[in-house]
Structure 1
Amino acid sequence: MRTPTVLTAVAGLVAATAATGLMPRAPEPGPRQSGDADLAATVRAAIDDPRGLRGIAVASVDGGRVRVAGIGDRTPGGPAVEPGTPFEIGSVGKPLTGMLLAHRSAAGAVDPDDRLRTVLPEVTGPTGEVTLAELASHRSGLPRLPTGPATLARTWWTSVTAGNAYAGDDVDRIVADARRAEPDDDRGAVSYSNFGASLLGQGLAAQAGVGYPELLRRDVLTPLGMTDTVVAADPADLPGGRAEGATAGGRPADGWTGAGYAPAGIGVWSTAEDLGRLTAAMLAGTAPGADAATPRFDDEAGRRIGYGWFTSRYGDREIVWHNGGTGGFRSYVGYERATGRGIVVLANTAHDVDALGLRLLGVRGDAASESTGLPGWIGAGLALAFTFLGGLSLLGTARRGADRLSVLSAAGWAVLYLGLGHRLGDWSVVPGWIWPLGAALTGVAVALAARRWRDLPVVAGAPPWRRWTGAALSAAFAALAVAVIAA
């Protein structure tokens, strides 16, 4: 074997060996646990694949008895999850808003058929004509979120960077968005809408003359003894001792806060203990606004919806439920009236727990997953593409590159692509050992480029100014990529 070939192979081997120490690893629940030991063991046995999970808090309700347990860690290598550890619950907050409607309707303060404009006069135009019941049951015809280039760009960016998707969305902003919005032709059919749920909650709060967090605390949380459930309107309001959110691949994720979307579950934190109390009270029919769970309208696939709560059939079994998902958390609350059993599952990664919740209820099936951020197949694609793309590009440039400038640019991008793959890839779907293979390919390409370096001019081909301009633009894009990695 020729010496250059041996050196190239060695370069690839060295790169792969060095990269093994940095190999991305999806989180898994650690061995620590707290609370009811039997429940913790049951939860571990029900997890079909632990990759992508880190910490889990669970409450089990059976015949009015509530048991709670925690497994895994709040943060990487940090404190253990306990039954009282606060988790971001996302859209599990929507049923709480639905319960507010049912409770205030029973008290005669509002009527479900009232128009939005009667409780929130600032909302004029077509959106003001939708009813409170339509908002509570996702039948308003309003979009999931207000549409527009800025919203789409922010949604994409926060999905990539695991940032706060609702930063700056206060009450004034969603009211302004509501004045510009128009229900579509699907009004009357169930179409999930964070926007609609938020307008409902803000309208109820305005009619009551208080802010949404205060109304929720006064009418629902305090009567149920849910003292550890809070609405964080901004980062300063986040509860102490909370779990840290992360993507399914393990990347830290910012908490979602935005006062305008609080009624949709944005910024709502709770514990397995508190949600266990909620579930027990819903089963007993003693929760304020418990009638919100009564199924009133048909949804797809045989599912029905009340005010925020869904009801699904699995054979001869009927489960009332809702789930939640943010950039770094997943949640599931479900119960079965016929058996008096209920379950709460909270997790501090963006790994769906709906199926786990159903298994813990003894049901074989799937709840409708509320996926947020990048879908799993996109995260897997990013892992594979970025891991190998840079090395392949540099390999081609090393063989055909006309000058040092092109080789240097390709080498820089090869390293950056590896970093992007490590940072953005969903390594709970793609095996982490693939990343060192990409590093090996890059190492081989760097070795080939080094062999050609002396024989290449600094700049060749197009006019030098054009080549240097292209290099400057490439460096600018590289700086943006670094910002994505660091974000």
Structure 2
Amino acid sequence: MRKPPVIALVAGIVAGLAGLGVMPREPRLTAQTTGDANLAAEVRAAVADPGGYRGLSVALIDGGQVRTAGLGDRDRDGNPVEADTPFEIGSVPKVLTGMLLAHQASAGAVRPDDTLGATWPEVTGPAHEVTLAELASHRTGLPRVPLGSVRDWVRVLWANFAAGNPYAGQDVDRVRAATDDHRPGDDRGRVGYSNLGMALLGQALAANAGTGYPELLDRELLTPLGMTATVQVTDPDAVPAGRAEGARSSGRTPDPWIGAGYAPAGIGYWSTAADLARLVSATAAGTAPGVDAREPRFDDTERTRIGYGWFTTRYGDREITWHNGATSGFHSYIGFDRATGNGVVVLGNTDKGVEPIGLRLLGVPREQAGTASPALPTWAGAGIALLFTFIGGLSLLGTVLRPTLDRLTALAAAVWALVYPALGHQLGDWSAVPGWLWPVGLAASGAGLALAVHRWRELPVNGATVPWRRVASVTASSAAAVALTAALLS
């Protein structure tokens, strides 16, 4: 009979070699190009590192002319990105909501100093006293998202873990009800980014107009601007045809973010680079409805001021008016230089930021444009990848090498030796950690599983002094493993 070290070594090598075929690979921008070849070359020059991107759709407005280009792949099948490829655009529609306020104010339908409660009488909670201008400029002191209950925390944490939709079930009534539980904070009057605040603004404007937010937006802004490709998705099965497929740094495809109540904050909206170029062109030229929203009114930082939705930031001798967006698997950036009238749209289908690309295309030097920020701090994403990849296998090895062991304990450790690497594969930042380390972790799990099988016949079923406690512990551990596995596979 083979000795345990030989068994462990052989099993580890087999598991490691098998893991090479499925090891995590970060998305990477391919050489595929559509549209304007010169613009595509400019974009590639602006990309500091192609790792972490899969596809980019770009529009550049220069001298009143719009050029578009697609780079890389829109999905796992390698289909090309084009100017009319729909992307999830995250928070970009916040500028549209700010422009709705400016447009409605110019028509005399509302005043920026009107309160939320006066505009939307159904709002009777503590936040009814904030003004529309405060909502549009993120100066209400309201939280980014309402997390007033254990249920809210669990929903958001689970969605982040499972690459799900953190806004599921957040309809207009839920947004309004959030004002019952949240009052303006002590930092009211200072800029503090709030999805809740922008959602309340858009829904209040719609209620005041006697219609829904999507209908109001279409009528007042999208239709006049000719933005026929900017659409709200209210059902996961109704995402646009030919769309880009989002991805995390692990390569995992997340669910689209959908929540009708948060539509004014950008949740559920998809668009194309060509369509958003119409918005940027008209706003830069001063011809868009509600264009007054672009005017900087309040200080955010030393270099940045905010209007109604639009931010304006100084980079040396340039001032760029902009907004960005991010969901679990997409990033977006729109911006323009008021002095030159030049503008840009950059859409990406991963969780790596695209802001530096847009700034470089607008002429901002690389050292001022900065680098793309990962979804998680690099140390956190790398730590998750390494911890989960190795902890299961090493823990199992430590368990099966104990002189005293029972089958229940070995079984629980064996289950986690499989679940933990799966977690590392799906949740880790594999742009920060070499992907070949994952098969090494799987090799440790394989070695531990082989030793557990080798010892199985000699082990008692339950060797605990208090047997029922061992049974309860293993049952709870296995249930947690099943739940996490289900989340990864959902």
* Alignment TM class, shorter chain as reference: over 0.9
2:433 equivalent in structure 1: 430
Instruction: State the AA in 1 paired with 2:42.
Output: T
Runs (5+) with no aligned partner, structure 1? none
Instruction: State the AA in 2 paired with 1:467.
Output: R
2:448 equivalent in structure 1: 445
2:466 equivalent in structure 1: 463
* Aligned partners of 1:379 and 1:426 also within 8 Å: yes
Q: Please, which moves more after superposition, 317-326 or 236-245?
A: 236-245
* Aligned partners of 1:325 and 1:370 also within 8 Å: no
Superposed CA offset, 1:142-187 (max 9, x none) = 1111122222211111111111111111111111111332101111
State the alpha-carbon separation in 2 of the partners of residues 379 and 28 from structure 1. Answer: 17
1:378 equivalent in structure 2: 380
RMSD: 1.9
2:201 equivalent in structure 1: 200
Q: Please, which moves more after superposition, 409-418 or 192-201?
A: 409-418
Instruction: State the AA in 2 paired with 1:442.
Output: S
Change in CA separation of 1:235 and 1:9 when aligned onto 2, cut-off 3 Å: closer
TM-score (norm 2): 0.95
Superposed CA offset, 1:234-280 (max 9, x none) = 33543222112221221111111111100000011111001111111
State the alpha-carbon separation in 2 of the partners of residues 302 and 274 from structure 1. Answer: 29
Q: Using the TM superposition, give the Cα deviation of residue 78 of structure 1 relative to its aligned residue in structure 2, in angstroms.
A: 4.4
Q: Using the TM superposition, give the Cα deviation of residue 71 of structure 1 relative to its aligned residue in structure 2, in angstroms.
A: 1.2
1:245 aligns with 2:266: no
Superposed CA offset, 1:82-123 (max 9, x none) = 100111111011001001111111111111111111210011
1:421 to 419, 424, 429: 424
State the alpha-carbon separation in 2 of the partners of residues 367 and 155 from structure 1. Answer: 30
State the alpha-carbon separation in 1 of the partners of residues 171 and 467 from structure 2. Answer: 51
Instruction: State the AA in 1 paired with 2:190.
Output: A
Aligned length: 485
State the alpha-carbon separation in 1 of the partners of residues 22 and 125 from structure 2. Answer: 56
* Aligned partners of 2:412 and 2:474 also within 8 Å: yes
1:96 equivalent in structure 2: 96
Instruction: State the AA in 1 paired with 2:431.
Output: S
1:211 aligns with 2:221: no
State the alpha-carbon separation in 1 of the partners of residues 235 and 464 from structure 2. Answer: 54
Change in CA separation of 1:371 and 1:203 when aligned onto 2, cut-off 3 Å: farther
State the alpha-carbon separation in 2 of the partners of residues 325 and 230 from structure 1. Answer: 17
Change in CA separation of 1:180 and 1:411 when aligned onto 2, cut-off 3 Å: closer
The percentage of counterpart residues that share the same residue type is 60
* Aligned partners of 2:102 and 2:293 also within 8 Å: yes
Change in CA separation of 1:109 and 1:370 when aligned onto 2, cut-off 3 Å: farther
Instruction: State the AA in 2 paired with 1:431.
Output: P
* Aligned partners of 2:360 and 2:369 also within 8 Å: no
Superposed CA offset, 1:314-346 (max 9, x none) = 111111110000111110011111222211100
Structure 2 counterpart SS, 1:91: coil
1:58 aligns with 2:32: no
1:40 equivalent in structure 2: 40
Structure 1 counterpart SS, 2:445: helix
1:351 equivalent in structure 2: 352
Q: Please, which moves more after superposition, 230-239 or 248-257?
A: 230-239
2:398 equivalent in structure 1: 396
1:411 aligns with 2:426: no
Superposed CA offset, 1:293-332 (max 9, x none) = 1100001242100000001111111111100001111100
After TM superposition, list the pairs within 5 Å mapping 1:132-281 onto structure 2. Answer: 132-148=132-148, 149-281=150-282
Instruction: State the AA in 2 paired with 1:59.
Output: A
Instruction: State the AA in 2 paired with 1:415.
Output: L
State the alpha-carbon separation in 2 of the partners of residues 84 and 108 from structure 1. Answer: 36
Q: Please, which moves more after superposition, 361-370 or 382-391?
A: 361-370
Instruction: State the AA in 2 paired with 1:457.
Output: P
Structure 2 counterpart SS, 1:465: helix
Q: Please, which moves more after superposition, 362-371 or 45-54?
A: 362-371
After TM superposition, list the pairs within 5 Å mapping 1:10-29 onto structure 2. Answer: 10-29=10-29
State the alpha-carbon separation in 2 of the partners of residues 246 and 220 from structure 1. Answer: 30
Structure 2 counterpart SS, 1:23: coil
Instruction: State the AA in 1 paired with 2:347.
Output: L
Instruction: State the AA in 2 paired with 1:384.
Output: L
Change in CA separation of 1:46 and 1:253 when aligned onto 2, cut-off 3 Å: same
* Aligned partners of 1:98 and 1:292 also within 8 Å: yes
Q: Using the TM superposition, give the Cα deviation of residue 486 of structure 1 relative to its aligned residue in structure 2, in angstroms.
A: 0.9
TM-score (norm 1): 0.95
* Aligned partners of 2:97 and 2:198 also within 8 Å: yes
State the alpha-carbon separation in 1 of the partners of residues 242 and 194 from structure 2. Answer: 31
Q: Please, which moves more after superposition, 103-112 or 227-236?
A: 227-236
State the alpha-carbon separation in 2 of the partners of residues 180 and 471 from structure 1. Answer: 40
Runs (5+) with no aligned partner, structure 2? none
Q: Please, which moves more after superposition, 299-308 or 134-143?
A: 299-308
* Aligned partners of 1:169 and 1:259 also within 8 Å: yes
Change in CA separation of 1:368 and 1:356 when aligned onto 2, cut-off 3 Å: closer
1:337 equivalent in structure 2: 338
Instruction: State the AA in 1 paired with 2:133.
Output: A
1:77 equivalent in structure 2: 77
State the alpha-carbon separation in 2 of the partners of residues 45 and 206 from structure 1. Answer: 46
State the alpha-carbon separation in 2 of the partners of residues 136 and 294 from structure 1. Answer: 12
* Aligned partners of 1:171 and 1:259 also within 8 Å: yes
Q: Please, which moves more after superposition, 452-461 or 285-294?
A: 452-461
